Amino acid sequence: MEKTQIVFIHGGDSFDTVEEFHEFVRSLKYDPYAIEQKKWRDGIKETLDETHECIMPRFPNAMDADFLAWSIWFEKVIPYLRDGVVLVGHSLGSGFLLRYLTENNMPVSVSQLHLVAGVIDDLDCPGVGEFGVDITNWSGFASSIDEVHVWHSSDDILVPLHHSERLVAHYPSAITHYFIDRGHFLQSEFSELQTVIKNITKL
């Protein structure tokens, strides 16, 4: 039996103007001795590697992401996907998946879509650019998706909880997983998400 595929879409930032991007870069702190923290998607890959095929593409210019460029890159991944794929987006990656799956009909079925600390629109959330949707006029997904899971924490200061709440109000069949102490989900482990993926109903 072929392994269930999991595609992880990482986060990033996006800006409406070059000036906004430059100001963002100025605000960043540089530490030449910083050690890159292990990410939860790496832990999931390590744990599920024997039973799942984990695909983790790096998208162009994550510090100033462009939706069209990300779409072009994502469409290079799609030919390798099979029915029943699991899509996981974090932060801006969630916004990308939400908009892409709204505007495009995937050639394969999606068994699970996971939106983790997802940006829904640019209301009260800088660094979104063209990512996300106008949720007030949102018409739903164009792609075939069996389950939509929404993950968010009330103490997320980067993407407030009400982003997910706005989406769920328009898509009440979404399965919500709300926390109070996960922030923007930058921890090294995410056992709850791993469990949901692991227990997926086989085709």
pLDDT tens digits, 118-170: 998 876 666 677 888 888 889 899 998 999 999 999 999 999 999 999 999 99
Residue 120: which CATH number? 3.40.50.1820
Kindly state the tokens that stand for 72: 């072009």
Cβ–Cβ under 8 Å, residues 107 and 80: no
Instruction: Work out the average pLDDT over 100-115.
Output: 96
| Domain-located, residue 173 | yes
Q: Dihedral of CA 196/199/201/202: which sign?
A: positive
| Closest alpha carbon to 166 in 113, 117, 126, 120 | 120
List the one residue out of 82, 85, 79, 90 whose CA is nearest residue 114: 90
In a domain, 72, yes or no: yes
Instruction: Give the predicted TM-score (pTM) of the model.
Output: 0.92
203 domain residue, yes or no = no
pLDDT band at 95 (very low <50, low <70, confident <90, very high): very high
In a domain, 102, yes or no: yes
Q: Identify the DSSP state of 30.
A: -
d(CA 142, CA 102): 5
Q: Residue 160 falls within a domain, yes or no?
A: yes
Q: Is 1 a residue whose pLDDT tops 80?
A: no
Statement: residue 100 has pLDDT above 60: yes
Check residue 127 and give its pLDDT. 65
Smallest CA-to-CA distance from 159 within 187, 127, 114, 136 is with 127
Residue 112 has a pLDDT of 97
Of the candidates 61, 57, 75, 76, the one whose C-alpha atom is nearest the C-alpha of residue 6 is 57
Please report the sign of the dihedral spanned by the C-alpha atoms of residue 74, residue 66, residue 61, residue 157: negative
Domain assignment of residue 98, given as a range: 4-198
In the block, residue with structure tokens 């595929």: 5
Number of domains within the chain: 1
Tell me whether residue 147 is in a domain.
Answer: yes
Instruction: Give the tens place of pLDDT for each residue, 19-38.
Output: 988 998 899 888 888 877 88
